[in-house]
């Protein structure tokens, strides 16, 4: 005769889940389904909890999405800002570290799906677009600009216009992300080694930024 515990169903709904587990389930759902098609009940089901449990932490889908972004991309930016503030080396090395961190932690990971979502659906959800621009785009580009300003002030970079140079550094990384993350499925893009690309891109730009030898 089977023991009583053997008669239990193989799957049981979890009574609770920590917010971080709910955010992980939401990230998966947003990346796979997009913002408009994601439903809170689907996120709850993915996390193995009731929809009511999800509402204990997040009042609606917009707040859940913001929490996902703040717990992932914004957190990466915040750590990068702290590291940049305490960095004592050459500005060229700092720029390399920050650009590679951006690539390794955001652009080449599941988080690229959030950027894809904003590209595809941002115009349909202006409040989300404003939130993303303020907390991700503005902070990220401001960090890159601050390194340029730092390098110019220390005589490590040429006296270029940081407002012009910042998008010059940002755009190629975004292009690589679209290239490697299937953002353009209708285009048959040739294969590219992202690490070789990033190394060449950073090295070439830093050489151009370097202040002339005195």
Enter the tokens of residue 17. 């889940």
Q: Which of 50, 7, 47 shows the shortest CA–CA distance to 25? A: 47
3-state secondary structure at position 134: helix
| pTM for the model | 0.85
Domains and CATH numbers, the chain: 4-61 (1.10.10.60), 72-209 (1.10.357.10)
Q: Which of 86, 107, 91, 79 shows the shortest CA–CA distance to 162? A: 91
Per-residue pLDDT of the chain (214 residues; tens, 9 = 90+): 444 444 433 334 444 558 889 999 999 999 999 999 999 999 999 999 988 989 999 999 999 999 999 999 999 999 999 999 999 999 999 999 999 999 999 999 999 999 999 999 999 999 999 999 999 999 999 999 999 999 999 999 999 999 999 999 999 999 999 888 776 555 666 778 999 999 999 999 999 999 998 7
Cα angle 206, 209, 210; round to 5 = 85
CB–CB of 27/68 below 8 Å? yes
């Amino acid at each position: 005769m089977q023991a009583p515990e053997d008669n239990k169903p193989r799957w049981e709904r979890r009574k609770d889940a920590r917010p971080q587990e709910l955010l992980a389930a939401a990230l998966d759902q947003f990346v796979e389904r997009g913002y408009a098609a994601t439903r809170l009940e689907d996120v709850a089901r993915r996390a193995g909890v009731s929809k009511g449990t999800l509402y204990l932490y997040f009042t609606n889908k917009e707040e859940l999405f913001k929490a996902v972004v703040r717990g992932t991309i914004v957190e990466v930016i915040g750590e990068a800002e702290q590291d940049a503030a305490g960095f004592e080396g050459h500005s060229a090395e700092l720029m390399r570290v920050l650009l590679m961190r951006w690539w390794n932690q955001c652009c080449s990971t599941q988080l690229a799906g959030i950027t894809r979502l904003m590209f595809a659906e941002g115009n349909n959800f202006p409040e989300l677009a404003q939130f993303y621009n303020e907390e991700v785009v503005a902070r990220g580009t401001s960090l890159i600009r601050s390194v340029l300003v730092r390098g110019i002030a220390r005589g490590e970079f040429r006296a270029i216009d940081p407002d012009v140079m910042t998008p010059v550094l940002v755009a190629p990384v975004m292009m690589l992300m679209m290239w490697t993350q299937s953002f353009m499925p209708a285009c048959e893009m040739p294969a590219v080694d992202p690490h070789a690309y990033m190394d060449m891109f950073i090295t070439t730009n830093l050489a151009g930024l370097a202040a002339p030898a005195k």
